[in-house]
Amino acid sequence: RERVYLQTDKLSTISELSASVSHEVRNPLTVTKGFLQLLYSNDLPDGKRRSYIDLALSELYRGEAIISDFLSLTKSNQETIPLDVVKELNYVHNIISPYALMYKVNVETSFEHDNVVVDGVASHFRQCLINIAKNGIEAMPDGGTLELNITSSNTHVFIEIKDTGIGMSPKEVAKLGTQYYTTKEKGTGLGTPLIFRIVESMNGCINIQSQKGKGTKFIVKLPTAPQVHYETA
């Protein structure tokens, strides 16, 4: 069992990350442009033409992946508001369902309490949970189960996202949060830096337990927002 807590030296601000994302999307675009220009040539053998198209397409997919890891950060509403954790996790469940289906992954939810509130930017919070869930699904190429659990104490909520996937060695776990660290052919290595940054901005922390060949559990611990009680007449 490996326990890892946020390492602040790896963290950059969300705006720094966004800036590097714009920069990163430029690379696949430049590469794609180059291959499309090569396709102008009349005397290209069929094999070459095909491989240029393949390369241009795979670079476009990469650009798309970079953008989707950061999608919500570009949305205008940056206001911190009270967020209903169960509602947000249900939203995330809906968003990732088609992706899970594609990977033959079964998503199970267990929400112990239904009135847990945290303060945060809705789009950031969703993006953070989506990125954790997406990694969990991608860790199960032969299918499996993704569990989404919520438990809470008086002061904190614990959001648990658990997969039955390939798992990580302690060394690999320690690399999480490093920008551009990826083991995937079409990975961006930008998902976990964003996850860490968003959780930190919400004054929370992440605990990661992983076992090679068994699976991984991310526990996001966040302080709950003070509850406002309304008297009913």
Q: What is the binding site for ligand ADP (CB under 6 A)?
A: 131, 135-136, 139, 163, 165-168, 176, 181-184, 187-192, 216
The alpha carbon of 139 is separated from its chain's Cα centroid by a whole number of angstroms, namely 12
Residue 144 as a binder of Mg ion (CB under 5 A): the answer is no
**Smallest distance, Å, CB 181 to ligand ADP?**
5
User: How far apart, in whole angstroms, are the C-alpha atoms of residue 157 and residue 199?
Assistant: 12
**Smallest distance, Å, CB 47 to ligand ADP?**
30
**Smallest distance, Å, CB 61 to ligand ADP?**
12
**Contact region for Mg ion (CB under 5 A) — 37-45, 75-83, 187-195, 214-222?**
187-195
User: How far apart, in whole angstroms, are the C-alpha atoms of residue 124 and residue 127?
Assistant: 5
Residue type, 27: N
With CB cut-offs between 5 and 8 Å by kind, which of Mg ion, ligand ADP, none does residue 164 bind?
none
User: How far apart, in whole angstroms, are the C-alpha atoms of residue 55 and residue 32?
Assistant: 7
C-beta of 32 vs 127, nearer to Mg ion: 127
**Smallest distance, Å, CB 36 to ligand ADP?**
25
Residue 91, helix vs strand vs coil = helix
User: How far apart, in whole angstroms, are the C-alpha atoms of residue 93 and residue 114?
Assistant: 16
**Contact region for Mg ion (CB under 5 A) — 13-21, 23-31, 161-169, 190-198?**
190-198
